[in-house]
Every structure is written in C-alpha cells, then in structure tokens.
Amino acid sequence: MKIGVFDSGIGGLNVLKELINQYPKLEYLYYGDTFYLPYGEKSKEELIKLGVRIIRFFEENHVDRIVIACGTCSSLVDEYQKYTKIPIDNVIDPTVEYVKKYYQKVALLATPATIKNGIFERKLKQEGIEVYPLSCPSFVPYLEGLSEQLDIEKELKSLQNNEYEAAVLGCTHYPLLKEEIERILLVPTIDMGKVLSETIELKESNASLTVYMSKVTPLLEQNVNKILEKDIPLIEKNLPV
C-alpha cells in the first residue's frame, strides 16, 4: 500500500514519523512544499490551488491513500476530496474525536489561516468542547529557518492562566516546540500526528520512503535527518501551479 503524505515543509515529517512507527511496512511518498511555505498565511483559494497540484502528483505516482499532514490544509479536506477519488485523511478530525474523549476545555494553537478559517474550532465546539484559540504566526517561519528569532513566551502570553486542560498543537510543525510550549502553558499538548497514527487503519505491504521537497537547502536536509533520525536523500521537485 502506497501512502502520499504532504505538508508545506518539515512539520508533516512529524506525522510521517508517527505513521512509520505505527506502520513500518508501507510505501511512503512525502511531498514538502517548501518553496511556497508558510501555508498558514495563504488564502483559501491559494491553498486549494497548491494542494490540488500535489494531489495530481500523488495520482501520477499511484498512491492508494493521501494523508494531509498539515493543520491548515486539513481544514480544507472536503474541498480537496472533490478533485480526486483517492481517499484523503486529515489530522483535524481524529484530533477532535480524541479531545472529545478526554477533555472539556482546550487551547488551540494554530496558524493564522487555520484560526481564520475556524473549522477546527467549530468542530471542537460542536462536540461541546470549550476552546481558547490562538494564532501563532511566528512559529512556522522560525522552525523553517525563515526567521532567526522567536519569543515563544510573548506569543503564548494571552493563553497563560486560562482554565484549559490541554493545548492542541493545531499545526504539525508545533510538536518541534512541544517542550517549550508545555513548560510555558503548564498543560499537556496534543500531537495531531500521533493521534492520527494511532487511529488510522492501513494495510502493510512493502517498506519504502521517498521524500520530495519543492525547494531543498542544506538547513532543510539537516532538519529532515534530525526529525526522521536517519539520512534521507531529498529530491527537489517544484510542481507547476
């Protein structure tokens, strides 16, 4: 079984790593759209256009299932599904189900686009969950090497001392800041990639991993190897928009 996984950059690798840990005997095709990151500041129309071209790439490579390893794009899963017959999984829906089981009040840390879209927050509220949403525009640029500084305490200041039980990491990049976030907010965090990997059902076959990035840099190569804990050759392929 071949699984296509995509994100704007390295964040989706956290999801990929969890999937590999859970299902090591699968063919994985990863696409990180590093040329166009961050996705979190783009419009709905831009996100659909960027995502559909990746879906077409996956179709050309005959994947059996697509995983949107991006919180921002996961909020548009219904839009993407209109363009393909390949089943598409996202990280938001299983996370909502997980939160419903264990929590009544959560903070939601996400990109500006996810917060503006509001679907993640609405789905949580529909399940009776009280939500404290926070847009974190500086996280992804910092983690992708586009910004050299991040004042994480300042970014999270408005969430301190609120009465929530856990913090949903609503962008797949954010687990890379897990320890700092938990230290500041003093609550456990919820990793969407881990939740997805523990709830999705996949049929194992042959093990392989191919990683494409629309723009490759030395820093990106270092980050990929660090997250996946192995040396992975990156293939640079910038898909036409």
How is residue 211 written in tokens? 């990683």
Contact between 230 and 17 under an 8 Å Cβ cutoff? The reply is no
Q: How far apart are alpha carbons 126 and 10 in whole angstroms? A: 31
Q: Which positions ≥6 away from 160 have C-beta within 8 Å? A: 184, 185
Q: How far apart are alpha carbons 232 and 135 in whole angstroms? A: 32
Catalytic residue among 70, 115, 140, 159: 70
Kind and range of the H or E run holding 125: helix 119-126
Q: How far apart are alpha carbons 136 and 159 in whole angstroms? A: 11
Catalytic residue among 171, 177, 227, 228: 171
3-class SS at 7?
strand
226 φ/ψ angles, rounded to the nearest 5 degrees:
-70, -45
171 as an active site residue: the answer is yes
Among 162, 156, 157, which Cα is nearest to 136's? 156
73 as an active site residue: the answer is no
Residue 231, number of CB atoms within 10 A of its CB: 8
Give the residue numbers annotated as catalytic, written as ranges: 70, 171
